[in-house]
Structure 1
Amino acid sequence: MNQPSRPNPFAPFGQEQPDPKAGDAPGTLRAAAAQRARKLTAPGSVLDRRRREVLAALNGDWDDAQPWIKAVVYLLALTAGVLLLAAAGGILLTALTDLVNAVHLPTTLPAHSTGLVRTVTDPVHRYLAARTAGVLPVTGTAAYTLWKATGLAAALIAFVTRGATARLAWTAWSCAALAMVWAGTDPAGRPVAVGITAAAIAFVSLFALRGLSFSLRPVIYNMPRNEVAAPTINVTIPAQPGPAQDTDPAREQ
């Protein structure tokens, strides 16, 4: 049962204030909420104007759409593009890792091997292990895998697309490989190791840099001559009338 409200003992005499909780009936709160909802969805309200703007953008010209609609659409498109690129990048990275592992250069070769591969790979292993141990958070194995993947990707992309960026990446990778082989080889064998590495890089460059030409071709520029056009003045002189002729037949007789 509802208990009657008690007067406030601290209120001044004759100005007793009622209990604020006494008038908050459930029906009153529900009616107020319904009234607010009707105001929000009524014609001309904020939600109604936004709805009309969205319908106008869908049915009309995109250039005439409201700025907030364009911002929301661009933000959603950018988010979807980032998510798509992240998923595609993860798939490509996994595939590239599998490809690199599939063509892994062995560190130990059979006894009958000539040792040409180890002449290139061993100095790179030693250089990366010495420069990463205790200095960088990456391990020497991870750095070696990245080195292989970068060279393989640059060579393949340069071979397929013939792009200048891929060719520059392959050239930079080749220079870095030569520097690591030089630094990771004993001084007595450096010339031979660098020579073998350069020969291997030159052989791969036949395919990676195909179509690249360094021939110097003359360039001829046909510059227009500075000719001053003389103005031409055309003067039209009207025909002068001739002497008057007498056409009276009586005078001719």
Structure 2
Amino acid sequence: MQHDDKPTNGQHPNFLDLFNQLPPEPSAPELNSTGRLGWLRAAWKTSWKEGGFLYERWEEVGQARHVSWHEAANWIKAALLFGGLSLIVLMLDAAGDITSATLKALSDVPASGAGDGSGMWGTVDHPIRVFLADQAAYLPVAPAALYAFWQLTGLLGLVGGFFGNAGARIAWLLFGIGSLAMIWSATPAGGRAAATGLAALMWALASIFALRGLSLRPIVHNHPPQYQFNPAVHLHATIPAPAPAGDDYGDEPDNVHPLQR
């Protein structure tokens, strides 16, 4: 069994080893359908015996589940990278098709009425429809497409914010601010303040779910220091070596006399 792509018998594993381990091909007189089929069956069995090419590759697959990425066989890593890149390309292609189809569907939405503006929801929704319809007259897009995009933005911001996505929460905040601005602009002057205030309350109630878990308190992490400081004072004293006994060099002061009994 081969580990960590180490060479076997002095050589690295090669796909040509599969052919080197095959039994001899049948001779020309025996080269018929039956002989070729038997030869392939024998080759298949030989490669799956212990020490065979396919046997060794299967052992490497089993070993890859218990080793790190760097210890896996090179052909396994190449196959995983190729498969991952292919999956990413397919996902990007599918995402592009879905986005294109969605934008095309929004552009083809037929124009719809602006609503009658009755009821609690109509007080908030009707000014937005009117504002988008007025602005769409200067844009190459249908008013219904703008309204559908506004609804889609709010839905994605609400759902994504509920699951804690930062980008979705930013979109939800911009959605609310833009909605309040449109309501203030399109509502008649007599009921402008009431309609905007009502919309702000609705947006605040919905923000309970969209901004779930968001806190304005600063997060303080109290972690112990990763180093230790141990102050120490090191004193270096030099002690002169004692003079040998009987050493008299005459360098003592005059007032120093040896002790006499």
Q: TM-score, normalised by structure 1?
A: 0.50
Structure with a larger share of its residues in helix: 1
Mark the structure with the bigger radius of gyration: 1
Give the TM-score normalised by structure 2: 0.49
